[in-house]
Amino acid sequence: DQKSKKLGVALVGLGRYSTNELAVALQATQSCYLAGVVSGTPEKRDFWADQYNLKPENIYDYDNFDRIADNKDIDIVYVVLPNSMHAEFVIRAAQAGKHVICEKPLGISSAECLQMINACKKHGVKLSVGYRLHFDPYHQYLMQLSDKVQYLEASNGYTLKDHSEWRMDKSLAGGGALMNIGIYCLQSACYVTGKTPISVTAQATKTRPDLFKDIEETLSFQLQFDRGVSTNFVTSHQLPMNRLMAISEGREYTLSPAFSYRGIGKKYAFEQYKELSQQAAQMDDFATVIRKNKVSSVSGEMGLRDLRIIEAIYEAADARKPISI
Ligand code: NDP
């Protein structure tokens, strides 16, 4: 049977991203399939079991999740929970001997990321972050510009309307727009230049201080590299923005939208590529990483690097001065 050759994935947390994107992408993968789910909501467990024809023994809740260690059908645990829950479930998955994909941000602090990486090393499992844009052809094109990039700017924001959701709760989200979507801007800064920034400056602003109390709403930041490349980034939970622009050898490369699941560069693009499922490509790549015993190009170490950059950005915004990374 074809499924026996594919790696079984268990999605942990059946929210919007699991439901609307990952479950769909899992139907389009070459090397993976949806083998199980982990959910705290009984109705969802029933619905998913029925919808995806899952074996009853492959359905878990958050308490009995550790029993997944005995489940031969599950090769990969994919953590799709609110950010502050990532560390616990990545570590429990590693202890159960399962390879792990964790959604972005890897954790809510660099200390947490380090613990997650160490747990995966200790238990001999692979760890990767759900950085889907690494598998998008437009972003892959920009990666080739590398040390020829002279200027880079990106903006990623939307108007967060449901103020009761976990993204507004610092204890679950770890931060505001930067943790959620600004991470795509700093990701692009690293993969387009092929470098890690050495210092950062940042400025926080609020257009709706009544709504955004203990977490940032809009944050501008500039990353400095060890060579002459100027950068400027903005992220927001209030202002709709979705654009990436690089200047390389005097030529402009703009993607708008830049960070969406679909339709990248629809409004403005330098190339025309066929639409693909970023998430399917991402999961197939992880299957190859496991089978060939390679290090993921979107590794836990990359997730850690990004949390270090995020921590420096918050520090720079607070201190109103440049912070070294
Ligand atoms: P949702 O709020 O839609 O879903 C989160 C799910 O987590 C819930 O449905 C619930 O599932 C479970 N959960 C367990 N405890 C809690 C809690 N205390 N509060 C809320 N939910 C809880 O979030 P998203 O699906 O949008 O995001 C989940 C993760 O995926 C985040 O880390 C986010 O950053 C990431 N993400 C990544 C994207 C990407 O493009 N790579 C896009 C969107 C999100 P259940 O009922 O099954 O227990």
Cα–Cα distance list, 311 to 47, 51, 142 (Å): 39, 41, 26
Checking if the pLDDT of 4 tops 70, the result is no
Reported as a single tens digit per residue, the pLDDT across 243-298 is: 999 999 999 999 999 999 999 998 888 889 999 999 999 999 999 999 999 999 99
Q: Domain 135-273+306-324: which topology?
A: Dihydrodipicolinate Reductase; domain 2 (3.30.360)
Token output for 123? 């238990």
268 is catalytic: no
Would you say the CATH fold of 135-273+306-324 matches that of 2-132+280-298? no
- The pairing of strands 7-12 and 76-79 is parallel
| Site residues for ligand 1, CB cut-off 6 Å | 13-18, 39-41, 44, 80-83, 103-104, 130, 132, 166, 172, 180
Spell out the domain ranges in the chain.
2-132+280-298, 135-273+306-324
Token output for 151? 């200027």
Q: Domain 2-132+280-298: which topology?
A: Rossmann fold (3.40.50)
314 is catalytic: no
Reported as a single tens digit per residue, the pLDDT across 5-52 is: 899 999 999 999 999 999 999 999 999 999 999 999 999 999 999 999
**3-state SS track over 205-270:** ECCCCCCCCCCCCEEEEEEECCCCCEEEEEEECCCCEEEEEEEECCEEEEEECCCCCCCCCCCECC
The SS3 assignment for 155 reads strand
Reported as a single tens digit per residue, the pLDDT across 154-186 is: 999 999 999 999 999 999 999 999 999 999 999
Reported as a single tens digit per residue, the pLDDT across 224-242 is: 999 889 999 999 999 999 9
pLDDT at site 228: 87
Cα–Cα distance list, 306 to 28, 104, 108, 114, 123 (Å): 29, 10, 10, 12, 23
Cα–Cα distance list, 291 to 5, 6, 296 (Å): 11, 11, 11
Q: Ligand 1 mean position to 17 CA, how many Å?
A: 7
- Once rounded to an integer, what is the mean pLDDT over residues 122-146? 98
**Distance in Å from the first CA to the final CA of the chain:** 50
Instruction: Please state the φ and ψ torsions of residue 12, each to the nearest 5 degrees.
Output: -110, 115
Q: Ligand 1 mean position to 264 CA, how many Å?
A: 23
Q: Ligand 1 mean position to 261 CA, how many Å?
A: 16
Measured distance CA(31)–CA(49) in Å, rounded: 21
Cα–Cα distance list, 279 to 26, 135, 136, 147, 204 (Å): 8, 8, 9, 28, 32
* Helix or strand holding residue 38 (H, E): strand 32-38
Reported ipTM exceeds the 0.95 cut: yes
